[in-house]
Amino acid sequence: MKKILVLGTLFVLPLVAYLFFASGVHNFAKLPVLNTEVGTLTDFESLTSEEITLDDKITVLGFLGKEIHNKQGNAFNLNQKIYKKNYGFRDFQFVMVLPYGSEQAAKKLLEELGVITDVVQWKFLFGTPEQIERLFASLKTPHQLDANYAANYVYIIDKDGSLRGRDGSVKKDEPTVYGYDASSVADLSNVMVDDIKVVLAEYRLALKKYKAYRKDK
C-alpha cells in the first residue's frame, strides 16, 4: 500500500505542477502596458555606428552611467540571468545608454561579456546628459538616475515602444513593477525572468497566428 501511495505521489504531483504552471502562462499571457510614450533613440550614437531603434524590437533598456565599472556587476547579472537565455530570439535586444566619453569602457565591457557568450544583441548608445535625462524621464517611473547618469533598474520595452511591467492587477497587494533591479540576482531570477518569458511568448503566439492566417488565405 505504501509503495502504491509513493508511486502515485511521484506521478500525480508533477502532473499537477505542470497543469498549474501551464494554466498560469495561459491566464497571464500578456504583461501589462504601463506607459505608451517612451522616448526614441534617434538622438543617440551607437558604439558600432549602426542605427538602433526601439521599433519592432523587444528591448531591455538600461543606464550604465559614465563610471561604467560601478555597474559592471549589473551587466554580468543581466547577461547570465536574462540575456543568455533569450538572445537567440531574433527581435530581442539589450540597449545600454551611457554619456559620451564612455566609449572605451563600453568596448572593454563588451569584450569581457563576449568571453562568456555571443554579444550580438548587446547594444551601447551614447548621448549628452540632457538626452539621457530626457529619455529616462520619458519612462515615467518613480526611479531616479544617480549623479553619473546611471540606474540599477532596467526596463522592458515592447515592439510598440511601450513600457511593460506589473500593475498589481494579477496578485492582490502586489506593487507596480516599472523596472527590475539588475544589482539583485533575486529580482532578476524571481521577477524579470518570468516577465521576459511572458512578453516573448506573447509575440511568438502573435507570429504563429499571423502565419496561420496567411496560410489560410
Please write the tens of the pLDDT for every residue from 144-173. Answer: 999 999 999 999 999 999 999 999 877 777
- CA 87/CA 155 separation, integer angstroms: 16
pLDDT score at 28: 47
Vertex 102 angle, CA 68 and 113, to 5°:
55
Q: 180 - beta bridge partners?
A: 154
Instruction: Give the span between the Cα atoms of 91 and 112, in whole angstroms.
Output: 23
Q: Is the pLDDT of residue 186 over 80?
A: yes
Task: Return the half-sphere exposure (C-beta side, CA atoms, 13 A cut-off) of residue 93.
Answer: 21
Q: What is the pLDDT of residue 173?
A: 77
Alpha helix (H) residue ranges in 103-184 = 103-114, 129-138
Gyration radius (Cα) of the chain, Å: 20
pLDDT of residue 33 exceeding 70 = yes
Strand partners, 99: 127
Name the pTM for this structure.
Answer: 0.83
Output DSSP code: residue 62: E
Cell, residue 57: 524590437
pLDDT at 4: 53
> Could you identify the residue written with the cell 551607437?
46
